[in-house]
């Protein structure tokens, strides 16, 4: 990187460190201006769903070179261009992707992350009456979306086969797909309360100070036989919405999924915290199937509030989420997705990351 670009990067670093947000005359921070200054999010964060998605979790060996692994995953853009060359790649076959880091790995690549305003996002296991939300960890996570399943499989191969020899302890490449116009396999509509437009999603998912996003990833296994034999009225009682129209129930119990997530069993209340959901179903009927849940937020508190209310770990009523009557969580972790600008600095010039 030439010295002029480095000087420009240092200027941006100073602006971030000093938190010099552009403001309106009334003194309130302009989200649009701050968002522009804090750089563009990675393409997986606030874009719409595609027909298929990849969730690639990489666990590194303890002796793996952090720098070499970071450089390797930094070639992901080249892999995408090889799979779908820019001159023939359009909206119908493009690959949208984002790279996230587990807290232990991110501490190594950016020891000064707390000074940037990034919180300690370590995930902890939660236990409740209907089961647990396990902590399964991981170092590097890739979330990619495409209308072609095969292209996502190719992307996973490129990434794993080009990691430094002996660096990967294990990995999981999971794939999801669209079902009945964005419904879960339980047949409930998924993402009903998602922000509808890009600007609203950005407000929910992008941290104004860092430009990055926190993510929660949970893999759920549904009890399809229980769902098959349970009456719709009971399932609607568990979720707090109607199956067919996805209308919120006026008399939902405080243990229903909707009541747990918004923070109240009252009708049509505004949720205390919002997230941008990107979840999709996965699996086979003969084996395991369920929901690959991923969501983005500007603050880790959004996820802590919701997950605590699923298992009764909150300080409020200690009740459990009825969703866990028919679905079992088998993996869980938090990830940090840096802004596109910070990510490129991490990938291409290690010395600059400490100024962010």
Q: What is the DSSP string of 209-233?
A: TTS-EEEEEEEEEE-HHHHHHS-HH
Place of tokens 């979720």: 239
Range 1-9, long-range pairs (CB < 8 A, 24+ positions): 1/348, 1/349, 1/352, 6/349, 6/352, 9/345, 9/349, 9/352, 9/355
Contact yes or no for 353/6 (Cβ under 8 A): no
Within 10 Å of residue 89's Cβ, how many Cβ atoms?
Answer: 15
**pLDDT string in tens for the chain (356-residue length):** 444 444 444 444 544 434 434 333 344 444 454 445 456 999 999 999 999 999 999 999 999 999 999 999 999 999 999 999 999 999 999 999 999 999 999 999 998 888 888 999 999 999 999 999 999 999 999 999 999 999 999 999 999 999 999 999 999 999 999 999 899 999 999 988 899 899 999 999 999 999 999 999 999 999 999 999 999 999 999 999 999 999 999 999 999 999 999 999 999 999 999 999 999 999 999 999 999 999 999 999 999 999 999 999 866 688 999 999 999 999 999 999 999 999 998 988 544 444 44
What was the pLDDT predicted at 36?
54
Q: In angstroms, how far is CA 341 from the centroid of its own chain?
A: 18
pTM (two decimals): 0.88
What was the pLDDT predicted at 38?
55
DSSP 8-state class, residue 142: E
Q: Which domain holds residue 217?
A: 3-355
Report helix, strand and coil shares of the chain as percent, to nearest 5: 35, 20, 45
Please report which helix (H) or strand (E) contains residue 141, including its range. Answer: strand 140-146
Contact yes or no for 5/351 (Cβ under 8 A): no
Within 10 Å of residue 119's Cβ, how many Cβ atoms?
Answer: 16
Q: For the chain, how many structural domains are there in total?
A: 1
What was the pLDDT predicted at 39?
67
Residue 51 makes CB contacts below 8 A (sequence gap 6+) with 146, 147, 148, 149, 177, 178
Residue 332 makes CB contacts below 8 A (sequence gap 6+) with 123, 125, 133, 134, 135, 136, 216, 217, 218, 219
Please report which helix (H) or strand (E) contains residue 4, including its range. Answer: helix 3-18
Contact yes or no for 221/262 (Cβ under 8 A): no
Contact yes or no for 109/203 (Cβ under 8 A): no
What was the pLDDT predicted at 112?
84
Residue 157 makes CB contacts below 8 A (sequence gap 6+) with none
Contact yes or no for 155/78 (Cβ under 8 A): no
């Amino acid at each position: 990187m030439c010295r002029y670009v480095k000087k420009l990067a240092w200027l941006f670093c100073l602006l971030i460190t000093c938190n010099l947000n552009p403001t309106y005359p009334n003194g309130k921070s302009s989200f649009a201006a701050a968002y522009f200054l804090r750089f563009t999010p990675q393409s997986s964060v606030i874009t719409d769903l595609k027909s298929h998605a990849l969730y690639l979790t990489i666990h590194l060996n303890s002796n793996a070179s952090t720098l070499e692994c970071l450089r390797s995953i930094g070639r992901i853009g080249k892999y995408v261009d090889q799979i779908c060359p820019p001159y023939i790649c359009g909206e119908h076959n493009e690959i949208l992707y984002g790279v996230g880091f587990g807290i232990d790995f991110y501490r190594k690549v950016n020891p000064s992350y707390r000074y940037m305003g990034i919180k300690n996002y370590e995930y902890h296991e939660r236990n409740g009456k209907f089961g647990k939300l396990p902590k399964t960890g991981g170092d590097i996570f890739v979330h990619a979306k495409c209308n072609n399943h095969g292209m996502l499989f190719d992307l996973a191969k490129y990434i794993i086969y080009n990691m430094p020899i002996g660096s990967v302890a294990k990995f999981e490449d999971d794939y999801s797909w669209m079902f009945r116009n964005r419904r879960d396999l339980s047949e409930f509509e998924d993402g009903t309360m998602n922000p509808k437009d890009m600007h609203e999603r950005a407000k929910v998912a992008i941290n104004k100070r860092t430009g990055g996003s926190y993510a929660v990833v949970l893999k759920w296994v549904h009890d399809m036989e229980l769902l098959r034999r349970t009456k719709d009225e009971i399932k609607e009682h568990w979720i707090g919405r109607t199956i067919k129209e996805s209308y919120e129930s006026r008399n939902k119990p405080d243990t229903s999924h909707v009541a747990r997530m918004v923070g109240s069993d009252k009708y049509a209340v505004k949720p205390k915290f919002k997230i941008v959901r990107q979840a999709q179903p996965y699996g086979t009927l003969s084996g395991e199937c369920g929901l690959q849940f991923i969501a983005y937020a500007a603050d880790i508190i959004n996820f802590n509030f919701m997950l605590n209310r699923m298992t009764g770990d909150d300080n409020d009523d200690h009740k459990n989420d009825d969703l866990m009557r028919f679905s079992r969580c088998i993996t869980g972790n938090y990830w940090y997705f840096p802004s596109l600008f910070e990510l490129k600095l991490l990938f291409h010039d290690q010395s600059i990351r400490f100024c962010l």
